[in-house]
Amino acid sequence: MSARSKARKRALDILYAADVRQVPVGDILEAEAQRAAGEPQRAASWLYARDIVDGVQDHRAEIDDLIAQHAQGWTLARMPAVDRAVLRIGVWELVYNDEVPSAVAIDEAVELAKELSTDESSGFVHGVLAAVGRAAAAG
């Protein structure tokens, strides 16, 4: 697994934990930063995970609006917490991170959904992110 794939998983863990436990993301991020300081072999994945979490938090309202616009028939509150976190990461990479090709952002999000969520989640995540990607490309 690449360092960026590991970073996405770490970011997902942070966003999911904050959502489910109803605590500020900053609290979870601080605890993870302390843990990462003691694990220098994971430094590369930690740095990108932090970029993702910070980016999602910085653009949370816009990201959630994009998800809501393209998740036909689904509200954010109705989605499983894992799917919300995966979609937020995917939208951040699609819209706010020019270093990640759209296809990679979508594929990585779909893989996380396949691994960690329901059987239907990977198709749902793919559909939402593909629609967001098309809208972003259209400008």
pTM above 0.85, yes or no: yes
pLDDT in tens, 95-139: 999 999 999 999 999 999 999 999 999 999 999 999 999 999 887
Q: Is the dihedral of CA 89, 12, 74, 63 positive or negative?
A: negative
pLDDT in tens, 36-67: 777 777 777 888 999 999 999 999 999 999 99
Instruction: Map out the domains of the chain as residue ranges.
Output: 3-138
* CATH of the domain spanning 3-138: 1.10.940.10
* 103, two tokens: 């296809």
* The pLDDT value given to residue 60: 97
* The pLDDT value given to residue 32: 83
